[in-house]
Amino acid sequence: MSEHNVRTVTVNQIGYPVSSRKTALFRGQTHHYRVVEAQTGTSVFSGETSAAVKDGSSGAVVRAGDFSAVTAAGRYLIEAEDGTVSAEFVLGERPYEELQKGLLKAFYFYRCGVELGGEYAGPWGHAACHLAEGAVIGQPGLRLDSSGGWHDAGDYGKYSGPGAKAVADLLLAFEWYPEAFLDALTLPESDGRTPDVLLECRVELDWLFKMQDAGSGGVYHKLTTAGFPGLEVMPEDDTAELFFSPVSAAATGDFAGVMAMAARIYEPWDKAYAARCLAAAEAAWRWLEQHPEEPGFTNPPGITTGEYGDEENRDERFWAAAELYRTTGKPSYRAAAEELIPLPFPKYSLGWGDMGGYGTLAYLLAGEERTDDTLHRSLLAGLLAEADRLAAVSQQDGYRISLREEDYIWGSNMLVMNNAMLLLAAERFSGEAAYAECALDHLHYLLGRNVLDISYVTGYGDRPVRYPHHRPSVGDGVAEPVPGLVSGGPDRGLHDEYVREHLQGKPAAQCFADHEASYSTNEVTIYWNSPAVFVTARFNRGSLQG
Ligand code: G3I
Ligand code: 9MR
Ligand code: ZN
């Protein structure tokens, strides 16, 4: 179909807060539209679209329809002049409450080493998996307990750095927006007292403890089988031998950072646990001090699972030092963080490989009273400048997000949500509501207001992803995929056979296939879910302003 004939009306398929700016985005030639009550078909608003934007990333001609004037809570859809209709959506005070619960509950579904069953799992249960001890590469004869934690993704590997990013996002979400975590999930451990998000993160933290070498304090990079199992293999049937890959500086820095964060956040709930987290973080820090020059991690011979290679580990060291400083107030950690700040590594990234942003947040929050201090001022100015850049890109973008064409990489939806997190950090430090509005536009994209008219969260929205590259969803015999999983999203690099065959020549934001074979566009991971929990929590805590 030529672009000229394609017409879609896209919305956030979950909905919009009644008090927010509400915009639908139209692809193709639409000038008039109506907002219609879904139940009755009654038209409640008619509007004109804005001037067309020719959007490079999506290859679409995009017009906007602002229906902020509609303020009555309810269920609606949008109808364009040619009869094209949008997905249904709600306008409500807190439209994202169920979504946030689903995004968080996804971590329960990623659990390893325990049976998922009964009321907790619905039809998506399975038996306990990966209970065998793992062999430690490079240490013949040594076998260690490796059970527990979360699977990384559509595969069953468990990787220390990505696990630390996922926990960090969830703990930060709880720390910044505690009001959004009052509702209970259904978890086996729920005790009516401890917030469920802390119970769920403890699953991963308990596993991370096992990734730390007891003698040196260094942290094993990953724990996986030698290769990936077949796509239909359920976790309990994946019984190949497990291997601990060697300690890396990146994993050790990430471990120190997340454990220092956990020590602070679990303190009011469980002092003994907090103390254990802090001791583990400090042991990891000592390893980092004793290993100032470490090469980046590469897969050992014979291991072909995810590498998560990372040449640059000054960002992980910075996160570790800054987070330890924030938690303990010790001058030695402050000095260590400040020695690293002037060095040229990314300070505002929140990816699995670039953790400098977590260090920056920790450093800024550790010294909120030190706003005159030069390093503090320059880091804060840098953060705001980066947020301004993201906001400027979003303003030019047809679908109002901060990704440029070259940013549609493997896991682009992580960038969408990480960028929204950074915008929300800018909101927190500056008090400017415009940053939050821009972050909310990113959530709208994830939930369907994109050129493909697809909600990238399984089970959420009228037109969600249905065939993720997720082994349990493929192998469990249940028609619907495990719910609440964030798909990786468009990757213009066409990194798997399926998309190379089907998507040649597509614009960046259309390089996505809702097909289980497309691991480079439609896999799911814990660290794509976690920033989405953070962003959703922000908009569940109450009003848009404040
Ligand atoms: O950083 C470069 C950037 O400079 C460049 O412009 C761009 C152009 O393609 O590429 C960027 O690198 C990308 C890199 O991720 C960093 O984000 C690579 O292209 C891309 O291939 C690479 O993808 C990673 C993928 O593994 C392959 O290594 C994903 O980030 C990562 O999320 C993914 O992780 C896998 C695990 O290995 C196994 N478990 C599932 C998980 C998700 O698919
Ligand atoms: O299924 C694997 C997926 O979980 C990984 O993220 C991805 C990373 O490279 O690799 C997938 O495995 C594919 C392998 O790399 C190449 N042959 C096809 C495999 C998928 O069926
Ligand atoms: Zn498992």
Give dist(CA 120, CA 506) in Å, integer.
41
Q: Give the range among 50-54, 171-175, 525-529 with minimum mean pLDDT.
A: 50-54
Ligand nearest to the CA of 469: 2
pLDDT at residue number 183: 84
CB-CB contact of 444 with 420 (8 Å): no
**Mean pLDDT of all residues in 151-180:** 98
- What contacts 502, CB < 8 A, 6 or more positions away? 513
pLDDT at residue number 544: 54
Question: With bands split at pLDDT 50, 70 and 90, how would you rate the model's confidence at 38?
Answer: very high
Q: Give the range among 349-363, 482-496, 530-544 with minimum mean pLDDT.
A: 530-544
Cα 410 to averaged position of ligand 1 atoms, centre (Å):
5
Nearest CA to ligand 2 atom 4: 155
Sign of dihedral through CA atoms 109, 150, 403, 514?
Answer: negative
Q: What is the SS3 assignment for 89?
A: strand
The CA distances from residue 512 to 151, 223, 493, 508, in Å, are 23, 29, 11, 9
Whether 162 is in the pocket of ligand 1, judged by its Cβ within 6 Å, is no
Enter the tokens of residue 217: 């304090």
Give dist(CA 138, CA 176) in Å, integer.
42
Cα 116 to averaged position of ligand 3 atoms, centre (Å):
11
Whether 70 is in the pocket of ligand 2, judged by its Cβ within 6 Å, is no
Cα 333 to averaged position of ligand 1 atoms, centre (Å):
31
Cα 306 to averaged position of ligand 1 atoms, centre (Å):
10
Give dist(CA 139, CA 387) in Å, integer.
46
pLDDT at residue number 162: 98
Closest CA to 496 of 105, 70, 154, 124: 154
Q: What is the SS3 assignment for 75?
A: strand
Cα 352 to averaged position of ligand 1 atoms, centre (Å):
10
Whether 523 is in the pocket of ligand 2, judged by its Cβ within 6 Å, is yes
DSSP class of 518 = -
User: Residue 226's CB: how many other CB atoms inside 10 A?
Assistant: 14
pLDDT at residue number 186: 79
Nearest CA to ligand 1 atom 10: 409
Q: Give the range among 186-200, 222-236, 255-269, 394-408 with minimum mean pLDDT.
A: 186-200
**Mean pLDDT of all residues in 452-472:** 98
Whether 410 is in the pocket of ligand 1, judged by its Cβ within 6 Å, is yes
Ligand nearest to the CA of 150: 3
Q: Please name the fold of domain 97-371.
A: Glycosyltransferase (1.50.10)
pLDDT at 243 over 60: yes
Atom of ligand 1 nearest to the CA of 307: 37
Whether 156 is in the pocket of ligand 2, judged by its Cβ within 6 Å, is no
Nearest CA to ligand 2 atom 11: 519
Nearest CA to ligand 2 atom 10: 519
**Mean pLDDT of all residues in 61-68:** 97
pLDDT digits (tens, 9 = 90+) for 520-539: 999 999 999 999 999 999 99
Whether 495 is in the pocket of ligand 1, judged by its Cβ within 6 Å, is yes
Mutate to test the pocket of ligand 1, among 245, 410, 413, 512 (most ligand atoms within 8 A of CB): 410
Give dist(CA 393, CA 233) in Å, integer.
42
Q: What is the SS3 assignment for 462?
A: coil
- Helices 374-396, 356-366: crossing angle, 10 deg rounding: 130
Q: Phi/psi at 410 (nearest 5 deg)? A: -55, 120
pLDDT digits (tens, 9 = 90+) for 144-165: 999 999 999 999 999 999 999 9
Whether 491 is in the pocket of ligand 1, judged by its Cβ within 6 Å, is no
Would you give the distance in Å from CA 47 to the centre of its chain? 35
The CA distances from residue 187 to 67, 119, 172, 197, 370, in Å, are 39, 9, 20, 10, 41
* Size of the chain in residues: 546
Closest CA to 297 of 221, 373, 350: 221
pLDDT at 348 over 50: yes
Nearest CA to ligand 2 atom 12: 228
Give dist(CA 235, CA 229) in Å, integer.
9
pLDDT digits (tens, 9 = 90+) for 84-111: 999 999 999 999 999 999 999 999 999 9
Residue 320: burial class (beta carbons within 10 Å; 0-12, 13-18, 19+): buried
Cα 193 to averaged position of ligand 3 atoms, centre (Å):
28
Would you give the distance in Å from CA 343 to the centre of its chain? 27
Whether 155 is in the pocket of ligand 2, judged by its Cβ within 6 Å, is yes
Q: What is the SS3 assignment for 185?
A: coil
Question: With bands split at pLDDT 50, 70 and 90, how would you rate the model's confidence at 367?
Answer: confident
b/e code 31-58 from CB counts within 10 Å (16+ = b): eebbbbeeeeeeeebebebeebbebebb
CA geometry: angle 72, 78, 79, nearest 5 deg: 135
Question: With bands split at pLDDT 50, 70 and 90, how would you rate the model's confidence at 546?
Answer: very low
pLDDT at 369 over 80: no
Instruction: Point out the residues that are catalytic.
Output: 155, 469, 514, 523
b/e code 444-459 from CB counts within 10 Å (16+ = b): bbbbbbbbbbbbbbbb
pLDDT digits (tens, 9 = 90+) for 384-413: 999 999 999 999 999 999 999 999 999 999
Atom of ligand 1 nearest to the CA of 491: 9
Closest CA to 99 of 17, 4, 222: 17
Question: With bands split at pLDDT 50, 70 and 90, how would you rate the model's confidence at 370?
Answer: confident
- 3 state SS for 421-458: HHHHHHHHHHCCHHHHHHHHHHHHHHCCCCCCCCECEC
pLDDT at residue number 543: 55
Would you give the distance in Å from CA 211 to the centre of its chain? 22
Ligand nearest to the CA of 157: 1
Whether 307 is in the pocket of ligand 2, judged by its Cβ within 6 Å, is no
Amino acid at 399: Y
Q: Give the range among 5-9, 78-82, 273-277, 449-453 with minimum mean pLDDT.
A: 5-9
Cα 115 to averaged position of ligand 2 atoms, centre (Å):
25
Note the pTM of the prediction, 2 decimals: 0.98
Atom of ligand 1 nearest to the CA of 525: 42
| For the chain, domain boundaries | 97-371
Whether 228 is in the pocket of ligand 2, judged by its Cβ within 6 Å, is yes
pLDDT at residue number 545: 47
CB-CB contact of 163 with 150 (8 Å): yes
State the Cα torsion 260-265-271-277 to the nearest 10°.
Answer: -20
b/e code 506-527 from CB counts within 10 Å (16+ = b): bbbbbbbbbbbbbbbbbbbbbb
Q: What is the SS3 assignment for 243?
A: strand
Percent of the residues in the chain that have a pLDDT greater than 70, as a whole number: 98
**Mean pLDDT of all residues in 350-376:** 91
